[in-house]
Structure 1
Amino acid sequence: MTFRKAVGKLHLWLGLASGLVVLIVSLSGAVFVFQDEIRDLTQPWRHVAVEARPALPPSVLQAAAVQAKPGFTPSWTIYNGPDRSTAVYLSKGEETYYAFLNPYTGQVLKVQNLRNDFFTTVQYLHMYLLLPSAVGKWVVDVAVLIFVVMLVSGLVLWWPRNQAARKQRFSVKWDASPKRRTYDLHQVGGFYASALALVLALTGLCISYEWLMNGVSTLANGGRSIAAENAEPKVDTLLTARSASPVVDVAYARMRQQSPKAEMLLLGPVSKGAPVWCTAYGKSLHYYHRDEYRFHPTTGQLLLAQPHAGKSPGKKLADMNYDLHTGLILGLGGKVIAFVVSLLSASLPVTGFLVWRGRQKKHRKPHRQPALATAV
């Protein structure tokens, strides 16, 4: 068996094994790309009028959220931007809600049940196929790994053997037979999508596997590990002095002071023995440019300040990963590219299956009827 035939066999059987999962993950990813734009059009509570006064501190907004949903515990609080509502994440057992509030007045604009949210469902479909997370994550990750191998093996099979074949590898012959059109769509679509589809697949795997993201970041740093940059500060649990103000308010004020140009602020939950995670993002609904802070959960003391400008190239690449995965890094144009590439990726298992099915029918011999005995 030649190398090309061996690659063809590998491409075929891996494609048949992973095709359905790749189709679901790609289509759900294409839908999720424009989640913020669609939410903005359909959810008016996401926007507020900008006022000439500072936003209320997080403890006040959290109290208003709990008043609207008694018995629930607030954790993450997100100041989404000066013209956007602030979101407070509420939970009680397995029930989870987002309370959206006017950051200037504290008015509760909407309490949203995440279980019934369309894009939350799409996200879980994309990440876990709506299966239990441990099982679904494993199935999706294996399928995406196979998809990476498929893209590479597909390029090997696409590579033209001679100059005459080269002319046919870049365009679909629309006036050919249906089988030939399907074959061209599979090969040509796969070629044009391959580079960017690899980016989407690999950045998705980096989200799933921290060790992979760390390896890529180390490579970007020329072999220097980013472990020191990712190290979390230790919390001195012997400190008994308490902050005069709620710790989340102290953290919020400190972030406003040290990152005055940040449009979006994320404040994590306060829990004993663990630092309070806080992040200031340069642009609303964008996650690449970020200043990271950690605060003591009791005293409110600043334990870590890691501004974007002082990060290594590898750490900046890690911060950029989500925006690369969704196309956000290039704004709306990047989202359009990610959407198109996701659709092309979804088409590959379909056209590949149709090509295989057509060949099966071609190679199947027609069934012969037995000759009838002639009466003597």
Structure 2
Amino acid sequence: MTRFKKVILFFHRWLGLISGLVVFIVSITGCIFCFQDEIQDALYSFRKVEVQNKPYLPPSRIEALFKANYPKANADYIYYYGKGRPAAVLSNMGDKGFYYIFFNPYTGQLTHTERAQSNLFVIVEYIHLYLLLPPKIGGMVVGISVLIFVILMITGIILWWPKRKTDRKRSFTIKWNGRWRRVNYDLHNVLGFYATAIALVLAITGLSMSFEWVRNGIYKTANLGKNYTAEKILPKSDSLQKGFITTQPVIDRGYEIAKQRSPKAQMYLVFNDRSATGTIEVTAFAKTFRYYKSDSYMFDKYTGQLLRTMPHIKKSPGMKMNEMNYDVHVGQILGFTGKIIAFLASLICASLPVTGFIIWWGKRKKSKTKKIRTIVHRKTHKHLQAQGTFRSS
């Protein structure tokens, strides 16, 4: 092994030992989270409703139904999940945490109440993002560990890449009939190689959730350095128009305009910013539970004036890349097939710290055994020399 590769091996080994446990936890929770929508649909009946031949109740009506049950809370976010799906209010209830309140969007019947932090997959997501630590600390630990993992994948390819063409066939396959240590070695190297491309994509999209500089980097790279200032300027409501009288609730007007301009959207999110100059934003998503391909509309909360329209087709490449981040990270950008790919890649990523540790431990034991044998051999040799068994020529 060359001196360069010895240095690479040193860093690969010790960085792997430092980040291994976190990478394992993040990867395993990523596996579980990939199919969270499908699993929850199978387990919970409240996630579906009978389709009726009439329009959904408007946001103001959903908000009123919510207020009737929770008068001291605000309907911060209102979701319309699509045909055959409920409407839901996500509300921050202070010390109680965030709650989802589900309604039948046709009748207004309250169908389910759920504390977000009690949902199994929300817990899995918090472990994945923060290791159940305070978000700032946990996010930093996870982010740094994933960053180290990116370095490990690159150094792993450098160490693994075969020198000779004759070695390549052997390097691309697992020798299943070999001794268990050889199989473990192949699992670490071969599976690591095959998963690297997907794992790098998952890692980078994960890093963009932890570090703003990664998001900005993706944005600037995709835009080739070009600035799109209109995307970064957020309009404000005119608080001087607070007493303005409208014939229709502003929140309903915004929702209707979004439906008219994005008629093919399957899911809508209505967000009411409660600050004095905050706006009402309606986002229309092309597909249910998919966050890529969305049109957004922002309205003055007092007058109902449309302040900004941001259709998907007019967004910059950088903005599109950042908005598809979640869908790419969980694999759903490619539908169910993409989820399977992300699941398998995450599973392999979870195995790498384990197989890597076994390789390191085995070499450590082998080195210690060799050292002991050398010491015993030297002592025996000296003892025999002292007895005159060996004579110098």
Task: Tell me if both proteins adopt one fold, taking TM over 0.5 as the criterion.
Answer: yes
AA aligned to 1:276 is I
Matched residue, 2:352 = 348
Structure 1 counterpart SS, 2:108: coil
Structure 1 residue 242 displacement after superposition:
4.2
- In structure 2, which of residues 217, 220, 224 is the aligned counterpart of residue 218 of structure 1? 220
AA aligned to 2:13 is L
Structure 1 residue 278 displacement after superposition:
2.1
Structure 1, 252-261 or 65-74: larger mean CA deviation: 65-74
Structure 1, 214-223 or 5-14: larger mean CA deviation: 214-223
* d(CA) in 1 for partners of 2:25, 2:298: 38
Change (3 A) 1:218 1:127: same
* d(CA) in 2 for partners of 1:124, 1:226: 33
Segments of structure 2 that go 5 or more residues without pairing to the other structure are 381-393
AA aligned to 1:317 is M
Whether 2:67 is the aligned partner of 1:63: answer: no
* d(CA) in 1 for partners of 2:227, 2:183: 48
Matched residue, 2:149 = 147
Structure 1, 345-354 or 276-285: larger mean CA deviation: 276-285
Matched residue, 2:42 = 41
- In structure 2, which of residues 325, 328, 332 is the aligned counterpart of residue 328 of structure 1? 332
| Contact 1:19-1:349 at 8 Å conserved across structures | yes
Matched residue, 2:252 = 249
| Contact 2:24-2:353 at 8 Å conserved across structures | yes
AA aligned to 1:168 is R
AA aligned to 2:344 is V
| Contact 2:146-2:207 at 8 Å conserved across structures | yes
Structure 2 counterpart SS, 1:354: helix
| Contact 1:77-1:88 at 8 Å conserved across structures | yes
AA aligned to 1:334 is G
* d(CA) in 2 for partners of 1:131, 1:276: 33
Matched residue, 2:161 = 159
- State how 1:243-282 maps to structure 2 within 5 Å: 243-271=246-274, 272-282=276-286
Structure 1 residue 146 displacement after superposition:
0.4
Structure 1 residue 40 displacement after superposition:
0.5
Structure 1, 156-165 or 237-246: larger mean CA deviation: 237-246
Structure 1 residue 227 displacement after superposition:
4.1
Structure 1 residue 166 displacement after superposition:
1.4
Q: What is the aligned length?
A: 371
Whether 2:312 is the aligned partner of 1:308: answer: yes
Structure 1, 51-60 or 225-234: larger mean CA deviation: 225-234
* d(CA) in 1 for partners of 2:105, 2:56: 5
| Contact 1:251-1:295 at 8 Å conserved across structures | yes
Whether 2:19 is the aligned partner of 1:15: answer: no
Matched residue, 1:191 = 193
Structure 1 residue 63 displacement after superposition:
2.0
Structure 2 counterpart SS, 1:238: helix
Structure 1 residue 215 displacement after superposition:
2.1
* d(CA) in 2 for partners of 1:154, 1:226: 38
* d(CA) in 1 for partners of 2:173, 2:70: 57
| Contact 2:238-2:302 at 8 Å conserved across structures | no
Matched residue, 1:374 = none
TM-score (norm: length of structure 2) = 0.90
Matched residue, 1:74 = 75
Structure 1 residue 226 displacement after superposition:
3.7
- In structure 1, which of residues 239, 242, 248 is the aligned counterpart of residue 241 of structure 2? 239
TM-score (norm: length of structure 1) = 0.94
Structure 1 residue 313 displacement after superposition:
2.2
* d(CA) in 2 for partners of 1:211, 1:360: 39
Q: CA RMSD in A?
A: 1.8
* d(CA) in 1 for partners of 2:294, 2:267: 9
Structure 1 residue 222 displacement after superposition:
2.4
| Contact 1:214-1:225 at 8 Å conserved across structures | no
Structure 1 residue 244 displacement after superposition:
3.7
Segments of structure 1 that go 5 or more residues without pairing to the other structure are 372-376
- In structure 1, which of residues 283, 288, 308 is the aligned counterpart of residue 287 of structure 2? 283
Structure 1 residue 201 displacement after superposition:
0.4
Deviations 1:237-283 (A, max 9, x none): 33332434333212211111111111100011231212223210011
Structure 2 counterpart SS, 1:150: helix
Report percent identity of matched pairs.
45
* d(CA) in 1 for partners of 2:219, 2:188: 33
Structure 1 residue 53 displacement after superposition:
0.9
| Contact 1:217-1:226 at 8 Å conserved across structures | no
Larger radius of gyration: 2
| Contact 2:143-2:211 at 8 Å conserved across structures | no
Structure 1 residue 54 displacement after superposition:
0.7
* d(CA) in 2 for partners of 1:113, 1:9: 47
| Contact 2:283-2:296 at 8 Å conserved across structures | yes
Structure 2 counterpart SS, 1:167: helix
